[in-house]
Amino acid sequence: MAILGEDMTFGLFFLNSVAPWKTDAEELRDGLEQIKVADQLGFHSAWIAEHNARAYGVVSSTSVYLSAAAAQTSTIMLGSAVSRLPLHHPLQLAEDMALVDVISDGRLYLGVGKGYDALEFDAYNIDFDERHEKYLESLEILTAALKNKRVTYSGKFYNIKDIPVYPRPIQPSGPPIFVMVSGNDESMVNAAKQGHSFVLGGITNEDTNHKIELYKKTALEAGQSEEQVSKTIARSGKLLFCYVADTTEQAQEEYRQGLEWYMSVRDSRPTFGVVKRESHLDYDHFLKSGNALIGSPEKVIKDIQRYKEETGLNNIILWMNIGGQPQKQVLKSMELFAEKVLPHFTEKSSIIAK
């Protein structure tokens, strides 16, 4: 498969889980410090998850947390992963995200999804079974509101009549929209038709290749240019577990506690293709997964090289702080990655356009 660019970019994923050994405030403050350090170390992006009513994710509003991150950083791209569209009024979400884009001076990536947890919907008295239809309407309105100064829309859930949208985002056509994709081909097809980028998770490298080819074919058939398709894919990436220490044995041991706690409270969700529903974590199996980059800098470099060769994707979103890892360990992992892994893949220093 053809490589989509010269250099690779690396982001960080933040779920902000509150493990028994941390408080909500400690975890949230640690996450903001990690983003600030990531900006200084040269990471390309930071992605914030959004949840409610669950200890495994305590950021209930990505726009609020991203605003705090924007105020303390200068170059790192800031993404929502994801904003759950059925749980927000799309016009208000557009206004909130445009405000984040202004605060960050045009550094916002907007990741969107429909939500998967019935409890989170029940907490807000929102019909879980209507989430797919509501998601589609919301995405249309959100896209229009970020691109245009006024919005008119008539649908099943929303009726908006020539409403002005303020503030206007810094990025001229609005922040790039990313669709989160796991096992469902339909999500990839919809993203391609709409010209949105994507972030993959929970699938094998073989399925990754299938979905990328499906995206290209669908986007070109929808009338998009080769240049446009290449740009949206170049911005896209995949979410992988990652942790770096001086030795592979140390990395595997340090990562284990947070991972095992997270898996125990994740409500039996399949997680990134390495733990199946209703199954227990086999840590040795996890470590051998193509979705896990856990080890010494030398091992992680080899694992990333294999990933790039097998998928052609140049962007990886790294999940280092899973399950409330100790702050010193996470920062050390980030520093080792930036010092010994990152330069191996960015020697030519080409920059992917926003």
Whether 191 maps to a domain, the answer reads yes
Q: Calculate mean pLDDT across residues 41-52.
A: 97
- Residue 346: predicted pLDDT: 86
- Residue 276: predicted pLDDT: 57
Within the chain, how many helices (H) and strands (E) appear? 13, 11
What is the DSSP track for 114-179? ----HHHHHHTT--GGGHHHHHHHHHHHHHHHHH-SEEEEE-SS-EEEEEE--SPPSSTT-SPEEE
- Residue 75: predicted pLDDT: 98
CB atoms within 10 A of CB 344: 14
How far apart, in whole angstroms, are the C-alpha atoms of residue 1 and residue 143? 32
Which token pair is 202? 């929970």
Both ends of the chain: CA-CA distance in Å?
24
Pairing mode, strands 108-113 and 177-181: parallel
CB atoms within 10 A of CB 259: 25
Radius of gyration of the chain (CA): 19
Pairing mode, strands 150-154 and 237-244: unpaired
- Residue 271: predicted pLDDT: 53
Q: Calculate mean pLDDT across residues 68-95.
A: 98
Whether 226 maps to a domain, the answer reads yes
Pairing mode, strands 292-295 and 315-319: unpaired
Which token pair is 82? 């994801």
Task: Give me the sign of the Cα torsion angle 206, 139, 110, 14.
Answer: negative
What is the DSSP track for 317-352? EEE-S-SS--HHHHHHHHHHIIIIIHHHH-TT----
Whether 352 maps to a domain, the answer reads no
Which token pair is 325? 């890892």
Convert the pLDDT of each residue in 311-331 to its tens digit: 989 999 999 999 999 999 999
- Residue 6: predicted pLDDT: 61
Could you check whether the bond before residue 165 is cis, i.e. omega within 30 degrees of 0?
no
Which token pair is 255? 């990562």
- Residue 347: predicted pLDDT: 66
How many independent structural domains does the chain possess?
A: 1
Which token pair is 237? 């990436």
- Residue 274: predicted pLDDT: 55
Q: How confident is the model at residue 265 (pLDDT cuts 50, 70, 90)?
A: confident
Q: How confident is the model at residue 167 (pLDDT cuts 50, 70, 90)?
A: very high
CA atoms lying within 13 Å on the CB side of residue 320: 32
- Does residue 310 register a pLDDT over 60? yes
Whether 4 maps to a domain, the answer reads no
Q: How confident is the model at residue 266 (pLDDT cuts 50, 70, 90)?
A: confident
- Residue 281: predicted pLDDT: 78
- Does residue 335 register a pLDDT over 60? yes
pLDDT mean across residues, the chain: 92
Task: Give me the sign of the Cα torsion angle 29, 33, 35, 36.
Answer: positive
Q: Calculate mean pLDDT across residues 189-209.
A: 93
Q: Please provide the size of the chain in residues.
A: 354
Q: Which domain holds residue 225?
A: 9-345
Which token pair is 90? 């799309």
- Residue 348: predicted pLDDT: 46
Give the DSSP H/E element, type plus range, for residue 231: helix 226-235
Q: How confident is the model at residue 264 (pLDDT cuts 50, 70, 90)?
A: confident
Q: Calculate mean pLDDT across residues 217-233.
A: 96
Closest CA to 180 of 205, 156, 143, 211: 211
Task: Give me the sign of the Cα torsion angle 205, 193, 97, 59.
Answer: negative
List the CATH number of the domain containing 20. 3.20.20.30
Which token pair is 64? 């609020």
- Does residue 278 register a pLDDT over 90? no
Contact 341, 300 (CB under 8 A): yes
Q: Which residue has the higher pLDDT, 303 or 266?
A: 303
Q: Which residue has the higher pLDDT, 43 or 276?
A: 43
- Does residue 199 register a pLDDT over 80? yes
Convert the pLDDT of each residue in 234-253 to its tens digit: 999 999 999 999 999 999 99
Pairing mode, strands 77-84 and 45-48: parallel
Whether 151 maps to a domain, the answer reads yes
